[in-house]
Structure 1
């Protein structure tokens, strides 16, 4: 257990440092958004480029990893939507946000640092790239399209279909503009063609990539300051259980059902599914008026994940 805590402990100590620094006024929440922009636009793209460009295409393109992550995530999303719709009686937009929270991981800000602690940055980078492709091209566009498709009881089928097409088009435009996708695409291209950056440029990219893990975890901690979960225990518990328990179990089942892959990739895909939801979850929920619930669920899930991730790593070891 001490070996496992040596892996998870640093992750949550940096998150706690970000929370304390923001809580005590050293940084503001607005400044956390600036740090977050740095990670999203510079550090993470550099990290993804490094992880992919320095490996062969055969190592990078692992369809079994992507399929296991996609299948397990779709099961978790469907379960979240069904629970919210049928059990909690929520409207379709709120149900889609619940499904998103249960299925879309914070693979860049928490998943990568955690897998890197276990297997090193190479495996973690490949896992992060494949997970982000699934999240950005499948899970997020699907969840947002379902949320935007809620036109009310009397909506015509034609109007609903038009709204779905518009929502999917908006989601895909966001994917095309995503700098992390640019890093993935450039990394794939360099791996495919066998290119290498000049030494000075490569060292600069390495510097950006090396800064990613600590700053991303620090941002997570600072972003949790000021979030209150009072009065939403039922929703928070359901979303947290779906994200931290159902999602990794569904991905694990997919790993068992699909053809075998390297043991470290099997472990990495389950860890990626077991981390809390993506950092912009409340922002995506804000458009539909569910940002308070999403922020509370993010807080509860992040706090609870210390216990669940430590237990998961202990079991996997």
Structure 2
């Protein structure tokens, strides 16, 4: 119960504050969109930049933690896709979007604040290692799968497909922030102190703004129909993903407790808003994606609580 009160509740109170502010009309949809754009396009990319630029690659970029997390992510995505396609008989493009729900957890907006509140700022090194390849790799896979599904019979060349994937991924501000962090880390470039001070100021705004904006955005995602397939996608994200990450990390690789916490807690996060943005970008399975994000975020209060009890 203490973990619920001290760790989880403050994060979800900020989300709830944004939700209520929009529900009561204290802020407009336009303002919520601007807050999210500030967070996702400016503040959060700088947070990723700072975390990756300062990451000790030798100590934290550890293959077993990445394998544990991403084996769970790919399993969740595959479960979502196969269930949508063969159990619920959805169109191929719908199935890809529903698979993306199980694939893309909210590792950033929920994973970082939950981990930091539970275990301290020093525990975030493993999170940043996971996030450093999260958006580029998973967006690349999702876009590739969707473009292949859409191009059946359209004669899209392999080069054209690769160009479309690269253009979509490299325009993402989060990917640009990650790439800049890698550049500074690997090159050893020393940035002036005023630059780091400015980055730190932006970092302090990133998570509160993103959580408040997330609350406002979630108001739009009203659950409507398709409850069986939504439950399927949410199960893939909230249950299957962290179970595989924990099982592989603990029993397969024998990860130290800090790495096991980062892999498991990050995997236990609800489907990210990016799952809806991905579906909306292609105009498929939008209702399933939106409702999965909303319901998964609510249920994750309980599932995260369980994992914090397992990993005290």
Q: What TM-score comes out, normalization by structure 1 length?
A: 0.89
Give distance in 2, aligned partners of 1:164 and 1:98: 24
Corresponding residue of 2:300: 305
**What is the Cα deviation at residue 17 of structure 1?**
0.3
Give distance in 2, aligned partners of 1:163 and 1:243: 33
Task: Spell out the pairing of 1:192-271 with structure 2 (5 A cutoff).
Answer: 192-256=186-250, 258-271=252-265
Unaligned 5+ residue runs, structure 1? none
Give distance in 1, aligned partners of 2:157 and 2:231: 31
Give distance in 2, aligned partners of 1:163 and 1:210: 45
For residues 168 and 254 of structure 1, do their structure 2 counterparts lie closer, same or farther at Cα, with a shift above 3 Å needed?
farther
- 1:193-252 superposed Cα distances (whole Å, 9 cap, x missing partner): 444322211111100011111111111111011322132221221111111101111222
Corresponding residue of 2:102: 102
- 3-state DSSP class of the match of 1:26? coil
**What is the Cα deviation at residue 20 of structure 1?**
0.5
Give distance in 1, aligned partners of 2:196 and 2:55: 15
User: Are the counterparts in 2 of residues 148 and 163 from structure 1 also a CA contact under 8 Å?
Assistant: no
**What is the Cα deviation at residue 125 of structure 1?**
5.3
What is the count of residue pairs matched by the alignment?
A: 311
Give distance in 1, aligned partners of 2:145 and 2:198: 41
User: Are the counterparts in 2 of residues 96 and 144 from structure 1 also a CA contact under 8 Å?
Assistant: no
**What is the Cα deviation at residue 84 of structure 1?**
1.1
Q: What TM-score comes out, normalization by structure 2 length?
A: 0.91
Give distance in 1, aligned partners of 2:158 and 2:245: 27
Residue of 166, 172, 184 corresponding to 1:172: 166
- 3-state DSSP class of the match of 2:223? coil
User: Are positions 1:281 and 2:249 aligned together?
Assistant: no
For residues 167 and 308 of structure 1, do their structure 2 counterparts lie closer, same or farther at Cα, with a shift above 3 Å needed?
farther
Give distance in 1, aligned partners of 2:159 and 2:246: 32
Give distance in 1, aligned partners of 2:181 and 2:132: 13
User: Are positions 1:17 and 2:9 aligned together?
Assistant: no
For residues 37 and 163 of structure 1, do their structure 2 counterparts lie closer, same or farther at Cα, with a shift above 3 Å needed?
farther
For residues 216 and 264 of structure 1, do their structure 2 counterparts lie closer, same or farther at Cα, with a shift above 3 Å needed?
same
User: Are the counterparts in 1 of residues 44 and 174 from structure 2 also a CA contact under 8 Å?
Assistant: yes
Task: Spell out the pairing of 1:116-155 with structure 2 (5 A cutoff).
Answer: 116-124=116-124, 126-137=126-137, 139-150=138-149, 155=152
**What is the Cα deviation at residue 171 of structure 1?**
2.8
- 1:257-277 superposed Cα distances (whole Å, 9 cap, x missing partner): 654443212111111111111
**What is the Cα deviation at residue 102 of structure 1?**
0.8
Root mean square deviation, CA, Å: 2.3
Give distance in 1, aligned partners of 2:71 and 2:158: 22
Task: Spell out the pairing of 1:21-32 with structure 2 (5 A cutoff).
Answer: 21-32=21-32
Give distance in 1, aligned partners of 2:234 and 2:82: 16
- 1:32-56 superposed Cα distances (whole Å, 9 cap, x missing partner): 2211111122211221222223343
Give distance in 1, aligned partners of 2:184 and 2:87: 49
**What is the Cα deviation at residue 60 of structure 1?**
4.2
Report the more deviating stretch, 255-264 or 223-232. 255-264
